[in-house]
Amino acid sequence: MEKWLLPLVAVAVLLAVWHYSVLMTGTRVFPSPLSVWRGILELLHKHVLWADISDSLRRVVIGFAAATVVGVPLGLCLGWFPSLHQVVNPVLELLRPISPIAWIPVSIIFFGIGDPAAIFLIFLGSVFPIVVAAASGVSSVPPLFRRAGRNFGLTNAQLLRRVIFPAALPQILIGLRISLGIAWLVVVAAEMIAVDSGLGYLVIDSRNSGKRYDLVVAAMLIIGIIGLVLDSVFRLVERIRSVRWGFRHAA
């Protein structure tokens, strides 16, 4: 009961503080919770909210999936071959700290205004944490595991699939979860500049079209709620997959 009650109380307190802060300051710029709720209903009535949510989620899914397909195998290879990691790591550490937002002009030059530019930015923001997590997960597997696998006559491919990857899986999942959060952050920023739809575009368009700050805050809240849902779903999938993987290999 407390698991659900305490968060609901925290949300209620936040809404109360928000409401009375707007009331006491008398501001006409920052909207009240009721104004934001009316803004959400207006967006639903105009049939634009679900389309923007769908566009943002579609870009995140494509960019995150591409980052996973590239990042996990690359990280496994870097962790499996220390000499290769030594060669590639300086390049990774040079590119990794660069904010995906800094790549916006480059993405527009290469891809123009549209989905490819936003997806490219999501890919860049997501791929590096996945590569680092996968490489770190493989390199942190105790050497005893490898020796035991070789003693049982496993080939390199079998050793990687049946021993190394399961041992590194928890760290890989952590990297995927972090990357998903980054992807959701990046898509909002990219949509403010590189595309003309999505929740990020809704924020900037509401600001520019009559300074509708009620719609701006409504879009911000929806972005936060979807981010929370994505993280919760991923944590649930992470627990389910870990349990199933453990049972499969225990058998």
Please give the structure tokens belonging to residue 63. 């960019």
Q: How many domains does the chain have?
A: 1
> Residue 64's pLDDT is what?
94
**pLDDT tens sequence across 153-203:** 777 777 878 888 888 888 888 899 999 999 998 888 888 887 888 888 888
H/E segment holding residue 119: helix 115-139
Is 239 inside a domain boundary? yes
Is 6 inside a domain boundary? no
For residue 243, is pLDDT > 60? no
- Residue 107's domain comprises 32-250
Please give the structure tokens belonging to residue 61. 């899914």
Give mean pLDDT, residues 28-45: 86
Please give the structure tokens belonging to residue 246. 């453990």
**pLDDT tens sequence across 42-60:** 888 887 888 889 999 999 9
Q: 164 with 141: CB under 8 angstroms?
A: yes
Most confident of 71-85, 151-165, 231-245: 71-85
> Residue 244's pLDDT is what?
59
> Residue 242's pLDDT is what?
58
Is 91 inside a domain boundary? yes
Please give the structure tokens belonging to residue 90. 């300086």
Is 24 inside a domain boundary? no
For residue 19, is pLDDT > 70? yes
The CATH number of whichever domain residue 101 belongs to comes to 1.10.3720.10
* Rounded distance between C-alpha atoms, residue 169 and residue 240, angstroms: 13
